[in-house]
Amino acid sequence: MNYLELTAIIGGGAFIAGLLGALTGLGGGVVIVPLLALALGVDIRYAIGASLIAVIATSSGAAAAYVKEGYSNIRIGMFLEIATTLGALGGAFLAGILSTKIIAVIFGIVLIYSSYLSSKPKENHSDNIQSDPLAVRLRMSSSYPTSNGMKEYTVHNVGTGFGLMGLAGVLSGLLGIGSGAVKVLAMDHAMRLPFKVSTTTSNFMIGVTAAASAGVYLNRGYIDPGLAMPVMLGVLAGSLFGARVLMIARVKALRIVFGIVILAMGIEMIYNGLAGKI
């Protein structure tokens, strides 16, 4: 296959990934690596480098739309970014040590977990019980707009959330993904943030976390312009288009289909990793 054919195929696949990611809210980054590594036989290190680029593009591109709504909490985001960026640096260094087989198996497990999470409805764990003392010291409590005006919320288990965010960072740096699934655990379940606050704050953090490992990947020569260019442009176009058609699409059926696709990719990644094909 020459560069022209490869660019067309990867660009098209990345467009669909970005579109589905935006429509289902699951993020398109998670399917870029399986797409490149399983379908096109690209070395997983090149695939991860290209995927990181796609993750930064979608996060930064969507941020402008999110901020106007006033949901995201920049204090919580910035504080947790200490954990995610440090974790991402650790993950990027791990990627240079671990064999590609182990990386493939870990990737498969994360895909299966993401698929499981997509099958469950989103729950709101937010409440008005007194905040964690650390959250008070860090001035994390805030309010967000609802249909009944501004609603106050409190923040819990900052330590657990911080630790889980470190894990999200490691996975992001190791696998080149946004780690949305682990961020949900940290912000929705542990810290009990309102669903809309956690989603938008997490989107704000994904780009910064990915940038923390992208520097290391670039310096290692994992980011190939011939692969990353169609991935970046395809995902960006797909996610922008997805945000436009969001209103008319039947999102529920799509979520189920995308969840099954992710599950299948997860199983294949684990199989290929164990069989030594990656």
Partner 1 sequence: MKLFSQLNTPNTRKISASESSKWTDQRVEVIIGNLLRLGVIIAAAVAFLGGIFFLFTHGVERPDYRFFNGEPSPLRSIGGVISEVFSLHSKGVIQLGLLLLILTPIARVAFSIFAFLEEKDHLYVVVTLIVLMFLLFSLSGGKL
Residues that bind partner 1 (CB under 8 A): 1-4, 6-7, 36, 40-43, 45-46, 53, 56-57, 59-61, 63-68, 70, 72, 74-75, 78-79, 81-82, 85-86, 88-89, 92-93, 138-139, 207-208, 210-216, 218-230, 232-233, 236
Contact residues for 168 (Cβ-Cβ < 8 A; gap 6+): 84, 87, 179, 182, 183, 186, 209
- Cβ nearer to partner 1, comparing 118 with 131: 131
Q: How far is the CB of 30 from partner 1 (least distance, A)?
A: 19
CB nearer to partner 1: pick between 118 and 268: 268
Least Cβ distance, residue 89 to partner 1 (angstroms): 6
Minimum distance of partner 1 from residue 27's CB (angstroms) = 16
- Compare residues 25 and 61 and give the one whose CB is closer to partner 1: 61
Please report how close the Cβ of residue 255 comes to partner 1 at its closest, in angstroms: 26
Q: C-beta of 123: minimal distance to partner 1 in Å?
A: 27
Beta carbon nearer to partner 1, 69 or 127: 69
Query: How many angstroms separate the CA atoms of 4 and 66, rounded?
Result: 35
Nearer to partner 1, 117 or 218 (CB): 218
